[in-house]
Amino acid sequence: MAYIRKLSTGWRAEVQKHGSRSSKVFDTKREAQKWAMDTEASLDSLKGSGGMTWEQASTKYLATVVQEKAASAADWERRRLDEMAVYFGAETPLASITSQMLGEWRDTRLKDVSGSTVIRQFTVMRCLFRVAVEEWKVLTSNPCKGVRMPEHLPPRHQVWTWRLIKRVLRAQRDGNTLQTIRAFHIALHTGMRLNEILAARVVGKVAILERDKNSGKASPPIKVPLARKGAALFAKYQPFTVRPDIASALFSDLTDQLLIDGLTFHDSRATALTMLSRRMDVMTLARISRHKNLKILMESYYRETAEQIAARL
């Protein structure tokens, strides 16, 4: 039950519900009424959640939702949820996490990572809370609603030039770093992701993937058509034993050592697709890249400049 009382110094709001009691003084009656309504709603949510903590919610979410996703995607979400448990507190009641707290988390993360990264990480929380509301029925509302997100960064435009590619391919390395360089060579001729190259099974001119980052456990294997050069490189370099996370870190270290700035392993995918686009139509290119949304393919991975296109006209 909520009570609003006039004081000489303002308005006092008092809420007593489910055995809990709290009060606060405000300058205006409207502020007091809003606080009382929000507090009652929060207490209702706490009662309905059965006291489910962040750790309990994330464990259940991983077991019932995330486990259906590809291994790499599931591992990424698990690590994000672990990081959020550190920030919010593993024993924090799920229903006590408010929109204001999520906004503070956003501002904290923006000090260390880009807006696009914050949006991707926030999507994990949004999905968890949506499942908690719609399926588990432990919350009455999703605190993610109304939380303002930062702007996406503009699409990257960087591509690997042959001069820089040669520096990487000619680097004298061994062990896992050599395997990473070989995976990079394959990526430039296939447009495949690092983890896909390391896990692919190749039959003839087709790379077979058990799953990619967008498919679930029940999805059938994915077949990626390969150019002759790509198939030849797979035959030359396989098998790979390096883990994707280790290879990614090694490639970053290698580019630092070679004084190559502003380029990543993933830029090899855009480089390959841009080169392949000169030899085939967009629908064939989309089959190779496995993009269902052609807008993403055009805006994020096709990086030929207007000057380069004009030179061919």
User: At the topology level of CATH, where does 162-311 sit?
Assistant: hpI Integrase; Chain A (1.10.443)
Q: Are 127 and 118 in contact (CB under 8 A)?
A: no
Those residues whose C-beta lies under 8 Å from the C-beta of residue 59, and which sit 6 or more positions away, are none
pLDDT at 44: 63
pLDDT at 87: 92
Q: Are 76 and 117 in contact (CB under 8 A)?
A: no
- Structure tokens, 86: 């550190």
Q: Please choose, from the candidates 139, 145, 144, 147, the residue with its C-alpha nearest in 3D space to the C-alpha of residue 41.
A: 139
Beta strand residue intervals within the chain, DSSP E: 2-7, 10-17, 20-26, 201-203, 206-209, 222-225
Does the bond joining 244 to the residue before it have cis omega, within 30 degrees of 0?
A: no
Reduce the DSSP state of residue 272 to 3 states and report it: helix
Domain residues of the chain, as ranges? 2-48, 54-134, 162-311
pLDDT digits (tens, 9 = 90+) for 78-127: 999 999 999 999 888 998 899 999 999 999 998 888 888 899 999 999 99
pLDDT at 224: 92
- Structure tokens, 155: 């699409």
pLDDT digits (tens, 9 = 90+) for 244-284: 989 999 999 999 999 999 899 999 999 999 998 888 888 88
Phi, psi of 260 (to 5 degrees): -105, 115
pLDDT at 241: 94
Phi, psi of 286 (to 5 degrees): -65, -35
pLDDT at 300: 78
> Rounded to whole angstroms, how far apart are CA atoms 114 and 147?
17
Average pLDDT of adjacent 10-residue blocks, the chain of 313 residues: 80 71 82 81 58 89 85 84 91 89 92 87 94 90 90 81 95 94 96 92 91 62 91 95 93 94 92 89 86 80 82 81
pLDDT at 116: 84
